[in-house]
Structure 1
Amino acid sequence: MTVCLQGGADAAWEAAAAVPDPEVPCVTVADLGILRWVRVEDGVAVAGVTPTYSGCPAVLAIELAVEAALRDAGFEARIERVLSPPWTTDWITEEGREKLRVYGIAPPVKSSGSIRSLFGEVTVACPKCGSSDTEKLSEFGSTACKAHYRCRACAEPFDYFKCI
């Protein structure tokens, strides 16, 4: 991620980076790594945003929220959708992973480049009690990017943010 720190870009970055994800409000677009960069060009704050996946229904809402945050911070604003390279769960910050866990969502456990994470089963720890004695109930949870699990130790159901 590249952040230009001249001409007010630091303030623009801070405004855009604080936007919460509309589907998982415990994390910001910066925590998820979908806010790629913010730069100021001729007085206009331009933010690069990468969707989590091509069919993500929240893409437009995220772009509009980032644009509104930049305008609220006093900038003229423009959003650029950045599709290459595609977003990966590897871009979620450590702080973002911890926020997900505290919120009750198990963060991704493997690197997205791992063949096992893409096509095999992973051991997912319960975000409530930490037990690895969990079972997948459904490939899809509350959103397409999450799977639904249950902890056998504490019996709590929870979402797991799948590796992408």
Structure 2
Amino acid sequence: MVAEPQLRAWAAAASVPDPEVPCVTVEDLGILRWVRMDGEVAVAGVTPTYSGCPAVLAIEFAVEAALRDAGFEARIERVMTPPWTTDWVTPEGREKLRAYGIAPPAETSGSKMALFGETAVACPRCASERTERLSEFGSTACKAQYRCIACGEPFDYFKCI
């Protein structure tokens, strides 16, 4: 059974929004790996979406601040293995991305077609798969820029990793 302080610590850390995609939390993205108690210290394991992610320090500081705001002494541990994958984005996170106007990863990270950018990407606004990639990079390195041919709207696609 998980102790009450650990549950409170998890809830505090899990509520932190991603600084680059604020519609989703670190829990939604699957980058909050665990929270455990080490005596009186809440220790959170965080895996960056990729090793060069410019937001990793901001995320770690925000998780630490959320734990401190919840009344805990806090420590963050960066967890690099196994590496993060878009498979860890929760179903709720995928829906939040779609509602925000970002197409969630369309295939699992193990898909050879997805690795080479040959994935059919559905428009998050009208659900049409009649879309085209405009740029391999969108507003952040983990997103690509697409346009829907059916409705004409541009949108970001959260790339499979």
- Pairwise TM-score range, normalised by the shorter structure: over 0.9
Q: Are positions 1:152 and 2:149 aligned together?
A: yes
Q: Tell me the amino acid that sits aligned with residue 119 of structure 1.
A: F
Distance apart, 1:140 and its partner CA: 0.2
Q: Distance in 2 between matches of 1:115 and 1:133?
A: 21
Quote the residue 1:110 is aligned against: 107
Normalised TM-score (structure 1): 0.96
Q: Distance in 1 between matches of 2:50 and 2:107?
A: 18
Normalised TM-score (structure 2): 0.98
Contact 1:16–1:66 (Cα < 8 Å) also in 2:
yes
Q: CA RMSD in A?
A: 0.9
1:44-78 Cα distance to aligned partner (Å, 9 max, x none) = 00000000001100000000000000000000000
What are the within-5 Å matches in structure 2 for residues 20-39 of structure 1? 20-39=17-36
1:96-140 Cα distance to aligned partner (Å, 9 max, x none) = 000000000000011101111112410000000111100000000
Identity of counterpart residues, as a percentage?
A: 77
Quote the residue 2:37 is aligned against: 40
1:128-160 Cα distance to aligned partner (Å, 9 max, x none) = 011110000000000000000000011000000
Distance apart, 1:7 and its partner CA: 5.2
Task: Return structure 1 stretches of 4+ with deviation > 3 angstroms.
Answer: none
Contact 1:7–1:40 (Cα < 8 Å) also in 2:
no
Q: Distance in 2 between matches of 1:75 and 1:46?
A: 10
What are the within-5 Å matches in structure 2 for residues 63-142 of structure 1? 63-142=60-139
Q: Distance in 2 between matches of 1:59 and 1:28?
A: 13
In structure 1, runs of 5+ residues without a counterpart are none
Give the number of aligned pairs.
161
Q: Are positions 1:10 and 2:7 aligned together?
A: yes
